[in-house]
């Protein structure tokens, strides 16, 4: 199993969850409409490891995304990993990590790592919000962390991006989808158990629903602390008309309405 080195017990648990998920997903095969599957937890593990190393115990918020975007985490191994944000804000770049490539790539969707010149809008929005809200990456990680529920990126024969909520749950190939859901839920539960966040906030309805399902199924914490509260904020995707009308201020409003305040830590 893949490992990272010299980390706290909580970070080690988080990394074990990610490595276990990477291994399970690496053995899965998906049928139509999926033609290509990218697993950045395999070919970009060192970058993902560098990201996991920023995690801290008991953040105010654990944000949960759905799965990698083709120009974000699929390129950098970092959730919502738009290249410029990962390099300039998070300080993760080609000097310290290595990005490989999937064994099979769609010709229209190459993995170029930090050489990718396409900007992922969702990632640019998320990390620009973090910069504006917290100032530095260190300040962000004192209060928050991000976990993608599913680590796989899916593409059709044409190269179109397929999200997990669009994969078939009945008929041919549905067993693989159910296995994926089980593995992703288990990993999210492990991440929540490792970090003990006060709140879990889904980027969009799908992520929030999966998080609520996971938390409802978790046993009580040994510390007797209350389970984290689950909330939803607007997904940053440009496919959402609402997100294109000022995503960041709407997220600030939604967090405030949920009673989430980022105090000093």
Question: What are the structural domains of the chain?
Answer: 9-257 (3.40.470.10)
- How many angstroms separate the Cα of 108 from the Cα of each of 71, 167, 195? 12, 21, 37
Residues 151-207 have pLDDT tens digits of 999 999 999 999 999 998 766 668 899 999 999 999 999 999 999 999 999 999 999
Helix (H) / strand (E) element for 65: namely: strand 61-65
This prediction's pTM: 0.95
Q: Which residues contact 124 (CB under 8 A, 6 or more apart)?
A: 82, 84, 85
- How many angstroms separate the Cα of 185 from the Cα of each of 56, 166, 218? 21, 17, 10
Tokens coding 18:
């990610």
- How many angstroms separate the Cα of 55 from the Cα of each of 58, 115, 118, 120, 137? 9, 26, 27, 23, 11
Residues 113-160 have pLDDT tens digits of 999 999 999 999 999 999 999 999 999 999 999 999 999 999 999 999
């Amino acid at each position: 199993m893949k490992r990272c080195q010299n980390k706290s017990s909580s970070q080690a648990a988080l990394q074990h969850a990610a490595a276990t998920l990477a291994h399970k997903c690496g053995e899965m095969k998906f049928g139509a409409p999926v033609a290509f599957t990218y697993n950045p937890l395999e070919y970009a593990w060192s970058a993902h490891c560098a990201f996991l190393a920023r995690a801290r115990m008991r953040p105010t918020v654990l944000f949960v995304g759905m799965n990698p975007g083709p120009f974000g985490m699929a390129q950098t191994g970092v959730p919502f990993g738009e290249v410029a944000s990962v390099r300039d804000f998070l300080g993760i770049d080609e000097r310290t990590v290595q990005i490989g490539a999937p064994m099979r790539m769609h010709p229209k969707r190459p993995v170029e790592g930090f050489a990718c010149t396409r900007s992922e809008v969702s990632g640019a929005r998320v990390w620009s919000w973090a910069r504006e809200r917290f100032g530095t990456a260190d300040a962000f990680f004192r209060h928050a962390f991000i976990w993608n529920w599913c680590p796989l990126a899916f593409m059709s024969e044409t190269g179109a991006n397929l999200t997990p909520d669009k994969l078939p749950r009945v008929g041919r190939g549905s067993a693989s989808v159910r296995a994926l859901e089980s593995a992703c839920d288990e990993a999210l539960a492990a991440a929540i158990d490792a970090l003990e966040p006060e709140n879990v906030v889904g980027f969009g309805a799908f992520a929030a629903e999966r998080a609520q399902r996971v938390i409802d199924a978790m046993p009580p914490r040994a510390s007797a602390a209350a389970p984290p509260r689950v909330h939803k904020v607007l997904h940053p995707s440009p496919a959402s008309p609402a997100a294109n009308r000022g995503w960041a201020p709407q997220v600030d409003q939604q967090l405030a309405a949920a009673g989430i305040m980022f105090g000093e830590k």
